[in-house]
Amino acid sequence: MSADLTVGIHDISFATTQFVLTHATLAAHNGTDIGKYHTGIGQRGMSVPAADEDIVTMAAAAAAPIVERHSADRIRTIVFATESSVDQAKAAGIHVHSLLGMPSATRVVELKQACYGGTAALQFAIGLIHRDPSQQVLVIASDVSKYDLDDPGEATQGAAAVAMLVSADPALLRIEEPSGLFTADIMDFWRPNYRATALVDGHESITAYLEAVAGAWKDYAEQGGRALDEFSAFCYHQPFTKMAYKAHRHLLQNCGHEIDEERVTRGIGLTTTYNADVGNSYTASVYLGLAALLDQADDLTGRAIGFLSYGSGSVAEFFGGTVVPGYRERLRTTTHRDAISRRQPIDYARYRELHEHSFPVDGGDHPVPRETTGPYRLAALSGHKRIYEPR
Protein backbone atom coordinates (compact mmCIF):
# COMPACT_ATOMS: atom_id res chain seq x y z
CA MET A 1 0.00 0.00 0.00
CA SER A 2 1.36 3.40 -1.01
CA ALA A 3 2.11 5.81 1.83
CA ASP A 4 0.61 8.67 -0.17
CA LEU A 5 -2.64 6.85 -0.99
CA THR A 6 -5.62 9.21 -0.89
CA VAL A 7 -9.09 7.90 -0.10
CA GLY A 8 -12.39 9.71 -0.04
CA ILE A 9 -15.72 10.37 -1.71
CA HIS A 10 -15.65 9.56 -5.42
CA ASP A 11 -19.34 10.24 -6.10
CA ILE A 12 -22.40 11.42 -4.14
CA SER A 13 -26.10 11.18 -4.90
CA PHE A 14 -29.23 11.78 -2.85
CA ALA A 15 -32.93 10.98 -3.04
CA THR A 16 -35.97 11.92 -1.04
CA THR A 17 -39.70 11.20 -1.00
CA GLN A 18 -42.82 11.66 -3.13
CA PHE A 19 -44.51 14.14 -0.79
CA VAL A 20 -43.69 17.29 1.17
CA LEU A 21 -45.53 18.99 4.02
CA THR A 22 -44.59 22.64 4.00
CA HIS A 23 -44.14 24.41 7.30
CA ALA A 24 -46.63 27.00 6.10
CA THR A 25 -49.23 24.22 5.95
CA LEU A 26 -48.21 22.89 9.36
CA ALA A 27 -48.34 26.38 10.87
CA ALA A 28 -51.80 27.03 9.41
CA HIS A 29 -53.05 23.80 10.98
CA ASN A 30 -51.68 24.28 14.48
CA GLY A 31 -51.84 28.07 14.69
CA THR A 32 -48.10 28.54 15.06
CA ASP A 33 -46.48 31.77 13.89
CA ILE A 34 -44.68 30.79 10.70
CA GLY A 35 -41.63 32.70 11.92
CA LYS A 36 -41.11 30.02 14.57
CA TYR A 37 -40.45 27.56 11.76
CA HIS A 38 -38.89 29.66 9.00
CA THR A 39 -36.69 31.74 11.31
CA GLY A 40 -36.71 29.97 14.66
CA ILE A 41 -35.62 26.51 13.49
CA GLY A 42 -34.77 27.42 9.89
CA GLN A 43 -37.10 24.94 8.18
CA ARG A 44 -39.37 25.42 5.16
CA GLY A 45 -40.64 21.90 4.52
CA MET A 46 -40.30 18.27 5.47
CA SER A 47 -40.26 15.29 3.14
CA VAL A 48 -42.99 12.74 3.83
CA PRO A 49 -42.77 9.17 2.46
CA ALA A 50 -45.61 7.79 0.39
CA ALA A 51 -47.16 4.55 1.64
CA ASP A 52 -44.89 2.60 -0.71
CA GLU A 53 -41.68 4.44 0.22
CA ASP A 54 -39.23 3.80 3.06
CA ILE A 55 -35.49 3.81 3.78
CA VAL A 56 -34.90 1.03 1.25
CA THR A 57 -36.67 2.69 -1.68
CA MET A 58 -34.92 6.01 -1.00
CA ALA A 59 -31.56 4.27 -0.61
CA ALA A 60 -31.93 2.38 -3.88
CA ALA A 61 -32.98 5.58 -5.67
CA ALA A 62 -29.92 7.39 -4.31
CA ALA A 63 -27.49 4.57 -5.10
CA ALA A 64 -28.75 3.61 -8.57
CA PRO A 65 -27.14 6.57 -10.41
CA ILE A 66 -23.79 5.76 -8.78
CA VAL A 67 -23.91 2.12 -9.86
CA GLU A 68 -25.06 3.17 -13.32
CA ARG A 69 -22.15 5.62 -13.71
CA HIS A 70 -19.38 3.46 -12.26
CA SER A 71 -20.77 -0.11 -12.50
CA ALA A 72 -20.65 -2.50 -9.55
CA ASP A 73 -17.50 -4.32 -10.68
CA ARG A 74 -15.26 -2.86 -7.93
CA ILE A 75 -17.91 -2.47 -5.23
CA ARG A 76 -17.17 -5.28 -2.81
CA THR A 77 -18.97 -3.80 0.21
CA ILE A 78 -22.21 -1.95 0.95
CA VAL A 79 -22.48 -0.26 4.33
CA PHE A 80 -26.00 0.95 5.12
CA ALA A 81 -26.35 3.42 8.00
CA THR A 82 -29.78 4.07 9.48
CA GLU A 83 -31.72 4.49 12.68
CA SER A 84 -35.03 3.74 10.92
CA SER A 85 -34.30 0.07 10.29
CA VAL A 86 -37.05 -2.06 8.74
CA ASP A 87 -35.81 -5.30 10.30
CA GLN A 88 -34.02 -6.19 13.54
CA ALA A 89 -31.86 -8.82 11.83
CA LYS A 90 -31.55 -8.38 8.07
CA ALA A 91 -29.56 -5.42 6.76
CA ALA A 92 -31.66 -3.03 4.70
CA GLY A 93 -28.75 -2.86 2.27
CA ILE A 94 -29.45 -6.43 1.12
CA HIS A 95 -32.75 -5.24 -0.36
CA VAL A 96 -30.86 -2.44 -2.12
CA HIS A 97 -28.25 -4.94 -3.36
CA SER A 98 -31.07 -7.00 -4.88
CA LEU A 99 -32.95 -4.07 -6.42
CA LEU A 100 -29.75 -2.84 -8.11
CA GLY A 101 -28.77 -6.30 -9.36
CA MET A 102 -25.33 -6.20 -7.76
CA PRO A 103 -22.90 -9.17 -7.75
CA SER A 104 -23.26 -11.86 -5.08
CA ALA A 105 -19.58 -11.42 -4.17
CA THR A 106 -20.44 -8.45 -1.95
CA ARG A 107 -20.49 -7.96 1.82
CA VAL A 108 -23.49 -6.00 3.12
CA VAL A 109 -23.92 -4.71 6.67
CA GLU A 110 -26.06 -2.20 8.55
CA LEU A 111 -24.72 0.28 11.12
CA LYS A 112 -26.53 2.08 13.91
CA GLN A 113 -25.60 4.93 16.23
CA ALA A 114 -28.30 7.53 15.91
CA CYS A 115 -27.40 10.25 13.39
CA TYR A 116 -23.67 9.50 13.58
CA GLY A 117 -24.01 6.18 11.72
CA GLY A 118 -23.32 7.61 8.27
CA THR A 119 -19.93 8.89 9.39
CA ALA A 120 -19.09 5.54 11.00
CA ALA A 121 -19.93 3.91 7.66
CA LEU A 122 -17.68 6.36 5.80
CA GLN A 123 -14.76 5.78 8.16
CA PHE A 124 -15.13 2.00 8.00
CA ALA A 125 -15.19 2.26 4.20
CA ILE A 126 -11.97 4.26 4.22
CA GLY A 127 -10.31 1.52 6.28
CA LEU A 128 -11.37 -1.13 3.78
CA ILE A 129 -9.97 0.88 0.86
CA HIS A 130 -6.65 1.32 2.67
CA ARG A 131 -6.52 -2.47 3.01
CA ASP A 132 -7.25 -2.98 -0.69
CA PRO A 133 -7.14 0.18 -2.85
CA SER A 134 -8.54 -1.67 -5.88
CA GLN A 135 -11.93 -1.99 -4.18
CA GLN A 136 -14.74 0.53 -3.78
CA VAL A 137 -17.32 0.77 -1.01
CA LEU A 138 -20.91 1.94 -1.43
CA VAL A 139 -21.93 3.88 1.67
CA ILE A 140 -25.64 4.62 2.08
CA ALA A 141 -27.24 6.72 4.81
CA SER A 142 -31.05 6.63 4.73
CA ASP A 143 -33.60 7.64 7.34
CA VAL A 144 -37.15 8.71 8.03
CA SER A 145 -37.33 11.11 10.96
CA LYS A 146 -40.60 10.59 12.81
CA TYR A 147 -42.02 11.99 16.05
CA ASP A 148 -45.47 11.83 17.63
CA LEU A 149 -48.12 14.14 16.21
CA ASP A 150 -48.19 17.46 18.09
CA ASP A 151 -44.82 16.62 19.68
CA PRO A 152 -42.34 19.53 19.86
CA GLY A 153 -40.12 17.58 17.45
CA GLU A 154 -42.87 17.18 14.83
CA ALA A 155 -41.75 20.23 12.87
CA THR A 156 -38.23 18.78 12.49
CA GLN A 157 -39.28 15.57 10.74
CA GLY A 158 -37.99 14.67 7.30
CA ALA A 159 -36.66 11.89 5.07
CA ALA A 160 -33.79 11.40 2.64
CA ALA A 161 -31.04 9.06 1.55
CA VAL A 162 -27.48 9.90 0.55
CA ALA A 163 -25.31 7.39 -1.30
CA MET A 164 -21.54 7.84 -1.55
CA LEU A 165 -18.98 5.84 -3.48
CA VAL A 166 -15.76 5.64 -1.46
CA SER A 167 -12.56 4.88 -3.32
CA ALA A 168 -8.87 5.55 -3.71
CA ASP A 169 -8.00 8.65 -5.77
CA PRO A 170 -11.49 10.13 -5.28
CA ALA A 171 -12.99 12.57 -7.78
CA LEU A 172 -14.82 14.77 -5.25
CA LEU A 173 -13.28 14.92 -1.79
CA ARG A 174 -10.16 13.50 -0.14
CA ILE A 175 -10.83 12.59 3.49
CA GLU A 176 -7.99 13.62 5.78
CA GLU A 177 -6.54 12.30 8.98
CA PRO A 178 -6.88 12.76 11.90
CA SER A 179 -10.38 12.53 13.33
CA GLY A 180 -11.48 14.03 16.61
CA LEU A 181 -13.74 11.72 18.61
CA PHE A 182 -16.17 12.12 21.50
CA THR A 183 -18.58 9.78 23.30
CA ALA A 184 -20.79 10.33 26.35
CA ASP A 185 -23.64 8.24 27.79
CA ILE A 186 -26.56 10.70 27.52
CA MET A 187 -30.29 10.03 27.04
CA ASP A 188 -31.09 13.06 24.92
CA PHE A 189 -32.83 11.20 22.07
CA TRP A 190 -33.75 7.53 21.80
CA ARG A 191 -36.29 5.10 20.32
CA PRO A 192 -36.98 1.87 22.20
CA ASN A 193 -37.72 -1.22 20.10
CA TYR A 194 -41.39 -1.07 21.02
CA ARG A 195 -41.90 2.45 19.64
CA ALA A 196 -42.36 3.62 16.05
CA THR A 197 -41.50 7.22 16.96
CA ALA A 198 -38.49 8.69 18.71
CA LEU A 199 -38.36 10.30 22.14
CA VAL A 200 -36.34 13.46 22.63
CA ASP A 201 -35.44 15.82 25.43
CA GLY A 202 -35.01 18.96 23.34
CA HIS A 203 -33.05 21.03 25.85
CA GLU A 204 -30.82 18.11 26.81
CA SER A 205 -30.21 17.27 23.15
CA ILE A 206 -29.00 20.78 22.31
CA THR A 207 -26.74 20.79 25.36
CA ALA A 208 -25.37 17.35 24.48
CA TYR A 209 -24.75 18.37 20.86
CA LEU A 210 -22.77 21.46 21.90
CA GLU A 211 -20.77 19.45 24.44
CA ALA A 212 -19.95 16.95 21.69
CA VAL A 213 -18.85 19.73 19.32
CA ALA A 214 -16.36 21.01 21.89
CA GLY A 215 -15.19 17.52 22.82
CA ALA A 216 -14.67 16.30 19.26
CA TRP A 217 -12.82 19.49 18.30
CA LYS A 218 -10.59 19.25 21.38
CA ASP A 219 -9.57 15.73 20.42
CA TYR A 220 -9.09 16.74 16.77
CA ALA A 221 -6.74 19.54 17.80
CA GLU A 222 -4.83 17.23 20.16
CA GLN A 223 -4.43 14.70 17.32
CA GLY A 224 -2.70 17.38 15.20
CA GLY A 225 -5.58 18.48 12.98
CA ARG A 226 -5.87 21.68 10.97
CA ALA A 227 -6.35 25.08 12.55
CA LEU A 228 -9.92 26.35 12.46
CA ASP A 229 -9.05 29.17 10.06
CA GLU A 230 -7.84 26.70 7.43
CA PHE A 231 -11.39 25.49 6.72
CA SER A 232 -13.42 27.26 4.04
CA ALA A 233 -16.74 25.67 5.03
CA PHE A 234 -18.21 23.35 7.64
CA CYS A 235 -20.84 20.61 7.30
CA TYR A 236 -22.72 19.91 10.54
CA HIS A 237 -25.38 17.39 11.42
CA GLN A 238 -28.65 19.31 11.07
CA PRO A 239 -31.61 18.12 13.17
CA PHE A 240 -32.88 21.54 12.11
CA THR A 241 -30.79 24.02 10.18
CA LYS A 242 -30.53 26.63 12.93
CA MET A 243 -28.80 23.97 15.06
CA ALA A 244 -25.89 24.10 12.61
CA TYR A 245 -25.62 27.86 13.17
CA LYS A 246 -25.75 27.38 16.93
CA ALA A 247 -23.08 24.67 16.76
CA HIS A 248 -20.76 26.74 14.57
CA ARG A 249 -21.03 29.76 16.87
CA HIS A 250 -20.20 27.45 19.77
CA LEU A 251 -17.13 26.10 17.98
CA LEU A 252 -15.89 29.59 17.10
CA GLN A 253 -16.39 30.76 20.67
CA ASN A 254 -14.76 27.62 22.03
CA CYS A 255 -11.69 28.40 19.89
CA GLY A 256 -11.51 31.98 21.15
CA HIS A 257 -12.95 33.67 18.06
CA GLU A 258 -15.34 36.61 18.07
CA ILE A 259 -18.85 35.71 16.90
CA ASP A 260 -19.13 37.37 13.48
CA GLU A 261 -22.51 36.49 11.92
CA GLU A 262 -21.21 37.15 8.42
CA ARG A 263 -18.42 34.65 9.05
CA VAL A 264 -20.90 32.12 10.44
CA THR A 265 -23.12 32.41 7.36
CA ARG A 266 -20.14 32.26 5.03
CA GLY A 267 -18.97 29.06 6.72
CA ILE A 268 -22.22 27.08 6.76
CA GLY A 269 -24.98 28.96 4.91
CA LEU A 270 -24.88 26.94 1.68
CA THR A 271 -24.78 23.63 3.57
CA THR A 272 -28.26 24.23 5.02
CA THR A 273 -30.27 24.83 1.86
CA TYR A 274 -31.27 21.22 1.06
CA ASN A 275 -31.90 20.33 4.70
CA ALA A 276 -34.20 23.36 5.11
CA ASP A 277 -36.53 21.87 2.47
CA VAL A 278 -36.11 18.17 3.29
CA GLY A 279 -36.08 18.23 7.10
CA ASN A 280 -34.05 16.02 9.39
CA SER A 281 -32.69 12.95 7.60
CA TYR A 282 -30.73 11.65 10.61
CA THR A 283 -27.69 9.71 9.26
CA ALA A 284 -27.90 11.42 5.86
CA SER A 285 -28.10 14.97 7.22
CA VAL A 286 -24.43 15.99 7.30
CA TYR A 287 -23.83 14.56 3.82
CA LEU A 288 -26.93 16.23 2.42
CA GLY A 289 -25.17 19.37 3.65
CA LEU A 290 -22.07 18.38 1.69
CA ALA A 291 -24.11 17.81 -1.48
CA ALA A 292 -25.73 21.24 -1.09
CA LEU A 293 -22.34 22.90 -0.59
CA LEU A 294 -20.69 21.25 -3.59
CA ASP A 295 -23.71 21.92 -5.81
CA GLN A 296 -23.92 25.64 -5.01
CA ALA A 297 -20.55 27.05 -3.98
CA ASP A 298 -18.12 28.86 -6.20
CA ASP A 299 -15.07 26.80 -7.07
CA LEU A 300 -13.91 24.94 -3.95
CA THR A 301 -10.94 23.22 -5.59
CA GLY A 302 -8.19 22.63 -3.06
CA ARG A 303 -10.28 24.05 -0.21
CA ALA A 304 -10.62 22.29 3.13
CA ILE A 305 -14.08 21.42 4.48
CA GLY A 306 -14.72 20.52 8.11
CA PHE A 307 -17.30 17.91 9.14
CA LEU A 308 -18.99 17.61 12.52
CA SER A 309 -21.10 14.49 12.76
CA TYR A 310 -23.26 14.06 15.87
CA GLY A 311 -25.46 11.17 16.95
CA SER A 312 -27.52 11.38 20.12
CA GLY A 313 -26.71 9.14 22.97
CA SER A 314 -24.01 10.38 22.17
CA VAL A 315 -21.15 9.99 19.68
CA ALA A 316 -19.49 12.75 17.63
CA GLU A 317 -16.60 13.04 15.20
CA PHE A 318 -14.82 16.00 13.62
CA PHE A 319 -12.70 15.47 10.51
CA GLY A 320 -11.60 17.35 7.42
CA GLY A 321 -11.55 16.83 3.71
CA THR A 322 -10.04 18.60 0.68
CA VAL A 323 -12.00 19.20 -2.51
CA VAL A 324 -10.42 17.58 -5.57
CA PRO A 325 -9.65 19.45 -8.85
CA GLY A 326 -12.28 18.76 -11.50
CA TYR A 327 -14.97 17.90 -8.94
CA ARG A 328 -17.61 20.10 -10.56
CA GLU A 329 -17.67 17.89 -13.66
CA ARG A 330 -18.90 15.00 -11.48
CA LEU A 331 -21.72 16.74 -9.61
CA ARG A 332 -25.42 15.89 -9.91
CA THR A 333 -26.73 19.38 -9.18
CA THR A 334 -29.74 19.31 -11.51
CA THR A 335 -30.81 15.85 -10.33
CA HIS A 336 -30.52 16.88 -6.70
CA ARG A 337 -32.59 20.01 -7.19
CA ASP A 338 -35.18 18.02 -9.12
CA ALA A 339 -35.44 15.52 -6.26
CA ILE A 340 -36.57 18.37 -4.01
CA SER A 341 -38.74 20.28 -6.52
CA ARG A 342 -40.62 17.21 -7.82
CA ARG A 343 -42.22 16.43 -4.45
CA GLN A 344 -45.98 16.90 -4.27
CA PRO A 345 -47.24 19.21 -1.52
CA ILE A 346 -49.89 17.58 0.69
CA ASP A 347 -52.38 18.98 3.16
CA TYR A 348 -52.31 18.24 6.86
CA ALA A 349 -55.03 15.57 6.67
CA ARG A 350 -53.07 13.56 4.09
CA TYR A 351 -49.86 13.98 6.09
CA ARG A 352 -51.63 12.74 9.22
CA GLU A 353 -52.97 9.71 7.35
CA LEU A 354 -49.49 8.79 6.16
CA HIS A 355 -47.98 9.46 9.59
CA GLU A 356 -50.45 7.11 11.29
CA HIS A 357 -50.17 4.37 8.67
CA SER A 358 -48.78 1.06 9.93
CA PHE A 359 -48.80 -2.49 8.66
CA PRO A 360 -50.84 -5.21 10.32
CA VAL A 361 -48.68 -7.68 12.25
CA ASP A 362 -50.71 -10.80 11.45
CA GLY A 363 -48.38 -12.13 8.76
CA GLY A 364 -51.08 -11.90 6.08
CA ASP A 365 -50.88 -10.54 2.55
CA HIS A 366 -50.99 -6.76 2.54
CA PRO A 367 -50.41 -5.06 -0.83
CA VAL A 368 -49.35 -1.40 -0.73
CA PRO A 369 -51.11 1.19 -2.89
CA ARG A 370 -49.08 2.61 -5.75
CA GLU A 371 -48.19 6.19 -4.88
CA THR A 372 -44.53 6.91 -5.53
CA THR A 373 -43.25 8.06 -8.89
CA GLY A 374 -39.74 7.13 -7.81
CA PRO A 375 -37.83 4.23 -9.38
CA TYR A 376 -38.44 1.70 -6.56
CA ARG A 377 -41.35 0.90 -4.29
CA LEU A 378 -42.44 -1.23 -1.38
CA ALA A 379 -44.98 -3.50 -3.07
CA ALA A 380 -46.35 -5.53 -0.18
CA LEU A 381 -45.94 -7.09 3.21
CA SER A 382 -46.59 -10.82 2.98
CA GLY A 383 -45.82 -13.50 5.53
CA HIS A 384 -44.02 -10.84 7.58
CA LYS A 385 -41.72 -10.23 4.58
CA ARG A 386 -41.23 -6.86 2.89
CA ILE A 387 -41.43 -7.17 -0.89
CA TYR A 388 -39.74 -4.49 -3.01
CA GLU A 389 -39.86 -3.96 -6.75
CA PRO A 390 -38.82 -1.52 -9.46
CA ARG A 391 -41.76 0.77 -10.16
Give the pTM.
0.97
Strand 315-323 relative to strand 304-311, pairing: antiparallel
The residue type of 93 is: G
Would you call 130 a catalytic residue per the annotation? no
What confidence tens digit (pLDDT) does each residue in 226-266 have?
A: 999 999 999 999 999 999 999 999 999 999 998 999 999 99
Provide the pLDDT confidence category of residue 4 given band limits of 50, 70 and 90.
confident
CATH code for the structural domain at 7-390: 3.40.47.10
Active-site residue identified among 97, 110, 115, 317 = 115
Query: How far, in Å, CA of 272 to CA of 81, rounded?
Result: 21
Domain segments of the chain: what residues?
7-390
Active-site residue identified among 23, 95, 97, 237 = 237
What confidence tens digit (pLDDT) does each residue in 188-236 have?
A: 999 999 999 999 998 999 999 999 999 999 999 999 999 999 999 999 9
Would you call 258 a catalytic residue per the annotation? no
Predicted pLDDT at 17: 98
Active-site residue identified among 23, 53, 83, 248 = 83
H or E element at residue 217: helix 202-222
Query: How far, in Å, CA of 287 to CA of 291, rounded?
Result: 6
Query: How far, in Å, CA of 370 to CA of 4, rounded?
Result: 50
Q: Helix or strand or coil: residue 149?
A: coil
Residues forming beta bridges with residue 387, ordered by sequence position: 380
H or E element at residue 92: helix 92-99
Nearest-CA neighbor of 81 among 127, 143, 128? Answer: 143
Provide the pLDDT confidence category of residue 317 given band limits of 50, 70 and 90.
very high
Q: Are 62 and 118 in contact (CB under 8 A)?
A: no
Would you call 255 a catalytic residue per the annotation? no
